[in-house]
Amino acid sequence: MDFLSNPMAMSSAALAIIVSFLGVQILARKMKKDKRKKKYHPIAGTTFNQLLNFHRLHHYMTDLAGKYRTYRLLSPFRNEIYTADPANVEYILKTNFDNYGKGCYNYVMLKDLLGDGIFTVDGEKWRQQRKISSHEFSTRVLRDFSSEVFRKSAVKLAHIVSEAATSNRIIDIQDLLMKSILDSLFQVAFGIELDSMCGSNEEGRNFSNAFDDSSSMTVFRYVDIFWRIKKFLNIGSEATLKKSTKIVNDFVFKLIHNKIEQMKNSKDESSIKREDILSRFLRVTGDDPTYLRDIILNFIIAGKDTTAATISWFIYMLCKHPAVQEKIVKEVKEATTNKDISNYADFAAAIGEEALEKMNFLHAAITETLRLYPAVPVDTKICFSDDTLPDGYNVKKGDMVAYQPYAMGRMKFIWGDDALEFKPERWLNEDGIFQPESPFKFTAFQAGPRICLGKEFAYRNMKIFSAVLLGCFQFKMSDENKTVNYRTMINLHIDGGLDVRVFHRNGN
Ligand code: HEM
pLDDT, one tens digit per residue, over 410-456 is 999 999 999 999 999 999 999 999 999 999 999 999 999 999 999 99
The protein residue with its alpha carbon nearest to ligand 1, atom 17, reads 452
List pocket residues of ligand 1, CB cut-off 6 Å. 118-119, 130, 299, 302-303, 306-307, 310, 375-376, 379, 444-446, 450, 452-454, 457-458
Pairing of strands 43-46, 70-74: parallel
The protein residue with its alpha carbon nearest to ligand 1, atom 41, reads 450
Q: Which amino acid is at 25?
A: Q
Measured CA to CA, the distance from residue 460 to residue 363 in angstroms comes to 9
Report the phi/psi class of residue 199: left, alpha or beta, with left for phi > 0 and alpha for psi in -120 to 50: left
Q: Which of 128, 174, 301, 452 to mutate to test the pocket of ligand 1 (most atoms within 8 A of CB)?
A: 452
CATH architecture label of 40-504? Orthogonal Bundle (1.10)
Residue 13 has pLDDT above 70, yes or no: no
Domain boundaries, given as residue ranges, for the chain = 40-504
Q: Cβ distance 90 to 440 under 8 Å?
A: yes
Measured CA to CA, the distance from residue 491 to residue 405 in angstroms comes to 12
Of the chain, the percentage scoring pLDDT greater than 70 comes to 91
Q: How confident is the model at residue 137 (pLDDT cuts 50, 70, 90)?
A: confident
486 φ/ψ angles, rounded to the nearest 5 degrees: -90, 165
DSSP state of 91: I
DSSP state of 92: I
pLDDT, one tens digit per residue, over 368-425 is 999 999 999 999 999 999 999 999 999 999 999 999 999 999 999 999 999 999 999 9
Distance 371 CA to ligand 1 centre (A): 15
Strand partners, 171: 500
The protein residue with its alpha carbon nearest to ligand 1, atom 26, reads 303
Give, in degrees to the nearest 5, the angle at Cα 473 between 470 and 474: 90
DSSP run (H or E) holding 236: helix 236-265
b/e map of 394-410 (b: 16 or more CB within 10 Å)?
A: bbeebbbbbbbbbbbbb
Contacts of residue 376, defined as CB under 8 A and 6 or more positions apart, other chains included, come to: 306, 405, 444, 446, 490, 491, 492
223 φ/ψ angles, rounded to the nearest 5 degrees: -110, -5
Residue 8, pLDDT score: 44
Q: How many CB atoms lie within 10 A of CB 367?
A: 21
Estimate the share of the chain in helix, then strand, then coil, as percent rounded to the nearest 5: 60, 10, 30
